[in-house]
Amino acid sequence: MTTDSDDRASDVPPPVLDAVRSASRVAVLTGAGMSAQSGVPTFRDAQTGLWERYSPEELASPDAFVRDPDLVWAWYRRRAQLVAASSPNAGHVALAQWQRSAPQQTVEIATQNVDDLHERAGSTVLAHVHGTLAAVRCSICEEPFEGPVDDVEDGAERIAPPACGLCGSPVRPGVVWFGEPLPEAEWAAVAASVEAADVVLVVGTSGVVYPFAGLPAQARSAGAVVIEINPDETAVSDMTHHVWRATAAGSLPALVAAVTEQQR
């Protein structure tokens, strides 16, 4: 007689399940594919409507903000509105459950995504290596901005960013733009996490943006079992021990259920 736990386990490739079940420390690295299943456009897919004639590089750099802060601010406010209208998917929820329900394992999540869907699902996130849309700060003195921000009205291409309450300069989104360094503390935390992990799950990332894309190879060199969960082949597929061709929302609930139910 099979149980519900047996049914869930049968959905997971045996090498993946064996590796994750035996791990004491798991590092989960998530990318845009994770949030895309919640309806959040990937960075390049966000170039629609009024913004079709701009490349992401034209809108995501310090030079672009200096040149036209109202245009850049409007684009990022539009992205923030899309995130606010989205909800965590089953993959986000499963990871949050894993952190709560697996006392024998340490599960650390690091993400390239600038949304808050992991947190809204209930997860503790070790690091947002590319920053977050919510962390608005001054573009000059870097003072955090806690005041209200206006939404972008339909059809509007520009909106003036609020002024910093400390120095009066325009505020900016708290994301990492092209040409900017990653936040040191967050990057150090992620590097330490993959170095200490027994298993590293690479979920929904294309593996083309460095230095994040170098983490699977770093983890493998440190002795971790590296597992990719992605419906498509990526630039990091050949760096992994196991590949599971599935979406985050389709795979993680089965994996987490099989792992946590074994520990009860």
Q: Is 242 part of the annotated catalytic residue set? A: no
Residues in the chain: 264
Query: What Cα–Cα distance (Å) separates residue 79 from each residue in 61, 99, 249?
Result: 16, 28, 22
Annotated binding site for Zn(2+): 138, 141, 164, 167
The whole-number average pLDDT for the span 208-215 is 92
Q: For residue range 50-98, what is the model confidence (pLDDT) as tens digits?
A: 446 677 777 889 999 999 999 999 989 988 998 999 999 999 999 999 9
Query: What Cα–Cα distance (Å) separates residue 210 from each residue in 175, 216, 223, 235, 253?
Result: 16, 11, 21, 11, 28
Q: For residue range 3-44, what is the model confidence (pLDDT) as tens digits?
A: 344 445 568 999 999 999 999 999 999 999 999 999 887 765
**Angle in degrees, CA 8, 11, 15, rounded to 5:** 110
Indicate the average pLDDT of the chain: 90
Distance CA 99, CA 113 (A): 19
Q: How many CB atoms lie within 10 A of CB 72?
A: 26
Annotated binding site for substrate: 76, 79
212 pLDDT band, cuts 50/70/90, is: very high
pLDDT at position 52, please? 61
Calculated CA dihedral for residues 26, 32, 37, 40, nearest 10 degrees: 130
Distance CA 232, CA 210 (A): 19
Annotated binding site: 76, 79, 112-115, 138, 141, 164, 167, 204-206, 230-232, 248
Annotated binding site for NAD(+): 112-115, 204-206, 230-232, 248
- Residue 13 backbone zone (phi > 0: left; psi -120 to 50: alpha; other: beta): beta
Which CATH fold topology does 41-85+133-175 show?
Answer: SIR2/SIRT2 'Small Domain' (3.30.1600)
| Burial label, 112 (beta-carbon count in 10 A; 0-12, 13-18, 19+) | buried
Q: How many CB atoms lie within 10 A of CB 151?
A: 12
Range scoring the smallest mean pLDDT among 32-41, 100-109, 148-157:
148-157
pLDDT at position 140, please? 97
Minimal CA–CA distance to 27: which of 232, 203, 157, 174?
A: 203
Q: Which two tokens stand for residue 174?
A: 């708290």
Catalytic residue among 92, 118, 128, 130: 130
Backbone angles phi, psi at 26, to 5 degrees: -125, 130
For the chain, the structural domain boundaries read: 1-39+87-130+180-264, 41-85+133-175
**How many CA atoms within 13 Å lie on the side-chain side of 15?**
10
For 1-39+87-130+180-264, the fitting CATH number among 1.20.1260.10, 3.30.70.3040, 3.40.50.720, 3.40.50.1220 is: 3.40.50.1220
pLDDT at position 59, please? 85
Choice between 42 and 258, residue whose per-residue pLDDT is larger: 258
